[in-house]
Structure 1
Amino acid sequence: MRLNELRDNDGSTKNRFRVGRGIGSGKGKTGGRGVKGQKSRSGVAIKGFEGGQMPLHMRLPKRGFNKPNRKAWAEINLGRIQKAIDAGQIDAKKPIDADVLRAAGLVRRELDGIRLLAKGELKTKVEITVAGASKPAIEAVEKAGGKVNLPAAASAE
């Protein structure tokens, strides 16, 4: 096999159908768009338009509030940490922090900090330093004989 002999499998590519090329083609005149009018033209954006009536998405009441500067946490569960310890990706004897979790592939990026959640079971004694943790997660780590270090500003929710 040479580079100049490479080609697609038979039938894997199709030529683009050229519409609007005469009535005899089967896709002439209106080009498969139906009849005349706004929808037959290009650049039409009338998805939510209801003929001048207030559109449904604007008639429905708005609820809640999305805080524009809210923190985005990289969440990690206790079960994933235990699995990584069992697999030998994390050394439980050394303190676990964001760098260790990233190196082990448990979090891709820190975002505004790593938050520890209580899903799963932790059997190993570990010392974890994270930006935030849930109360059940802290209790589970302490029950296993470990410790969770949080920055002073972070509160256990």
Structure 2
Amino acid sequence: MRINDAVPKKGSRTRPRRVGRGIAAGQGASCGFGMRGQKSRSGTGTKPGFEGGQMPLYRRVPKLKYFTVVNPKHFTTINVKDLASLEPNTEVTLELLLENGSIKTNRGPLKILGDGELNVPLQVKAAAFTVGAKSKIEAAGGQCEVVS
């Protein structure tokens, strides 16, 4: 097989349409574009992305790096350093922290953050832990339990 043998199958390619060559040619005068209007004029009809005057999609979406989260998760947060004042082997829950005044308000499920040091072993039950907080609690001899 040679390069000149690679040709399209007979009948698969039709000749280009010759428009604007008189009535007998089949596409005379208006060339199949109708009488008047935006799409009958020469050149491209509209630019890509044009939506008929409506604000186009590329102008409607935000231009900054991150989209705002529609339903954000809200947590009641506390740092590991605030748990250091508790008694050893205490079971730490959101209710306990609200009772002893470590947290003033309940803003949702409890999340433990990893700022500070912890030397007391604690059994912490929370909805979420940061990686640093989990490692500090377990290094102090405590346990982390994720509750929904």
The TM-score bracket by the shorter chain reads: 0.5 to 0.7
Identity %: 22
Report the AA paired with residue 79 of structure 2: N
What is the correspondence of 1:6-155 to structure 2 with a 5 Å cutoff? 62-63=63-64, 64-82=66-84, 84-85=85-86, 91-151=87-147
Runs of 5+ unmatched residues, structure 1? 1-60, 86-90
The 2-side partners of 1:80 and 1:117 are apart by 10
| TM-superposed deviation, 1:105 | 1.3
Deviations along 1:22-78, one digit per CA (max 9) or x if unpaired, are xxxxxxxxxxxxxxxxxxxxxxxxxxxxxxxxxxxxxxx742221121111111000
Normalising by structure 2, we get a TM-score of 0.53
| TM-superposed deviation, 1:95 | 0.8
2:89/2:142 contact within 8 Å kept = no
How well do the aligned residues superpose, as a CA RMSD in angstroms?
A: 1.6
2:77/2:110 contact within 8 Å kept = yes
The 2-side partners of 1:148 and 1:110 are apart by 20
Instruction: Name the residue aligned to 2:29.
Output: none
Instruction: Name the residue aligned to 2:22.
Output: none
Number of residue equivalences: 86
Report the AA paired with residue 67 of structure 1: V
Instruction: Name the residue aligned to 1:56.
Output: none
| TM-superposed deviation, 1:118 | 0.7
The 1-side partners of 2:95 and 2:116 are apart by 22
Deviations along 1:93-137, one digit per CA (max 9) or x if unpaired, are 331111111111122233231110110000001000011000111
The 2-side partners of 1:108 and 1:127 are apart by 21
Report the AA paired with residue 73 of structure 1: F
Normalising by structure 1, we get a TM-score of 0.50
